[in-house]
């Protein structure tokens, strides 16, 4: 999308401070933050590091599970269909966790 239009906006010192605080908490630029609001979404705060680390760990675990399932299926040692369903549930839970904490909320 080509952004060719500019808008000037006057804010009170308090409004500017609120905008700066909100953008700092979300990790977004002022422009991106305001664009999301204009589109009807309320940006969320950047999740805390322990949450981000837990998400990374879950993704790593799910990747390992997928590799194990592939090997097990090739060797016929595990019910690959059941294992694959478990991996899919894990991915679904990760997505639910990410959506709950990171995706902007529709306003």
Residues 57 and 93 in one domain: yes
How far is Cα 25 from Cα 86, in angstroms, rounded to an integer? 35
Residue 1 predicted with pLDDT over 90:
no
* pTM to 2 decimal places: 0.59
Structural domain contains residue 78: yes
Residue numbers of the domain that contains 23: 13-42
| Count of the separate structural domains present in the chain | 2
How far is Cα 94 from Cα 107, in angstroms, rounded to an integer? 24
Q: Tell me the pLDDT tens digit for each residue of 68-105.
A: 878 877 887 777 777 788 888 888 888 888 777 777 77
Strands 41-42 and 105-106: antiparallel
Residue 41 predicted with pLDDT over 90:
yes
Rounded to 10 degrees, what is the CA torsion of 45, 51, 52, 55? -130
Cα–Cα distance list, 96 to 8, 64, 92, 100, 103 (Å): 38, 20, 6, 6, 10
pLDDT band at 34 (very low <50, low <70, confident <90, very high): very high
Structural domain contains residue 35: yes
């Amino acid at each position: 999308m080509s952004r060719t239009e500019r808008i000037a906006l006057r804010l009170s010192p308090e409004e500017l401070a609120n905008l700066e605080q909100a953008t700092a908490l979300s990790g977004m630029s002022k422009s991106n933050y305001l664009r999301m609001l204009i589109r009807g979404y309320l940006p969320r705060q950047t999740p805390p590091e322990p949450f981000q680390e837990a998400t990374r760990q879950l993704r790593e675990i799910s990747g390992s599970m997928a590799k194990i399932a592939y090997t097990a299926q090739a060797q016929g040692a595990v019910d690959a269909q059941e294992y694959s369903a478990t991996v899919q549930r894990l991915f679904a839970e990760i997505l639910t966790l990410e959506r709950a904490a990171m995706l902007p909320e529709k306003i």
